[in-house]
Amino acid sequence: MIQLHSDCLVFKLANGDAIPCSVEQVTVELIGDAADNLDPDLIRHAAAAVLHYFKHEQGREYVSLNEFSEALEHVLQGFGLAINHDTKPTAVAAPSGGKQGHIVRSDLRQLACESGKGFELNFFPCLRKEMEQLMVKTPNVICFTGLRSCVKQLVGARRWSGRCQTLNDQIVDYLRECLHREPRGDCALVVK
C-alpha cells in the first residue's frame, strides 16, 4: 500500500469512490471565491486544524466530504468567520458580528530562550504569563509558533525523540488548559 502524504486525507465521495487529496486544496475548494478575500495563513491554519482533528485526535485517514465540511465550518467559526449556507454549505461570507477576526501571535522558541536555564521548570510559568498577556488583547485567535524548535531547545536535543514528543504534547495540553480556564470561550488556539 502506498503511504499517504502527511497533509492529505482520503475523501469518501457520495458515489463510493475514495480520493486522496491535500486538505488545503479541499479547503480552498469548499470556501470558493471567498478564499481570495482571506489571509492565506488563515486558510492554511484552518486546513491544518481539521487535518489534525481527523488524523491525530480521531486516528482516521478516511473521511466523507460532508464530515470534512462540517469540521471546517466549525474551525472557521472559531476564527470569527460567518458561514453562508445559501450558496455553498461552507462558503465564507463575512466576519461574524461585523468585526475582523483579531489574531495575536507569540513565539514559543523565544519564550524558551527567555525562560533561561530552568528549562521546563521556568518555561511553563512564562507560558502561562504570556497567555494571560495575550488574552488581555481580547483576540479571536491566539497563534503560538515555533513549537518544534522550542521543544528541541528545552530538551537539549538535535533530533526529534520520544522525549521531545512527550514535551510537545505537554505544551499543547497546557496551552489548551490555560485557554479553557479563561472566562472568554470564543477564542481559538493555533499551535504550530
Write out pLDDT tens, residues 110-128. 999 988 776 778 899 999 9
Output the pLDDT for position 1. Answer: 52
Output the pLDDT for position 184. Answer: 67
Q: How far apart are CA 171 and CA 73, in angstroms?
A: 26
Task: Please state the length of the chain.
Answer: 192
pLDDT at position 18 over 60: yes
Output the pLDDT for position 98. Answer: 38
Report pTM: 0.54
Are 72 and 50 spatial neighbours (Cβ–Cβ below 8 Å)?
A: yes
CA separation, residue 118 to residues 62, 115, 122, 123 (Å)? 43, 7, 5, 7
- Sign, CA dihedral 110-111-114-118, equals negative
**Which ranges of the chain would DSSP assign to H, the alpha helix?**
23-31, 40-52, 65-78, 108-114, 120-135, 147-155, 162-181
CA separation, residue 125 to residues 114, 146, 151, 173, 184 (Å)? 11, 18, 15, 14, 21
- Please report how the helices 162-181 and 120-135 are oriented relative to each other, as an axis angle in degrees rounded to 10: 30
Output the pLDDT for position 83. Answer: 56
Write out pLDDT tens, residues 85-104. 444 433 344 444 434 457 88
Average pLDDT over residues 72-96: 57
Helix (H, G, I), strand (E, B) or coil at 144: strand
What cell was used for 138?
A: 481580547
Write out pLDDT tens, residues 129-184. 999 999 888 888 888 999 999 999 999 899 999 999 999 999 999 998 888 887 76
Q: When comparing pLDDT for 70 and 149, which is higher?
A: 149
Residue 46 has phi, psi (to 5 degrees) of: -65, -45
Q: How far apart are CA 172 and CA 157, in angstroms?
A: 19
Q: When comparing pLDDT for 110 and 18, which is higher?
A: 110
Letter string b/e over residues 14-31, b meaning 16 or more CB atoms within 10 A of that residue's CB: eeeeeeebebbebbbebb
Domain boundaries, the chain: 8-97, 103-191
Report the percent of the chain where pLDDT is more than 90: 24
Q: How far apart are CA 69 and CA 53, in angstroms?
A: 13
Comparing 17-31, 33-47, 147-161, 171-185, which segment has the lowest mean pLDDT?
A: 33-47
Q: When comparing pLDDT for 35 and 57, which is higher?
A: 57
Average pLDDT over residues 21-32: 82
Local structure of residue 102 (DSSP, 8 states)? P
Output the pLDDT for position 185. Answer: 62
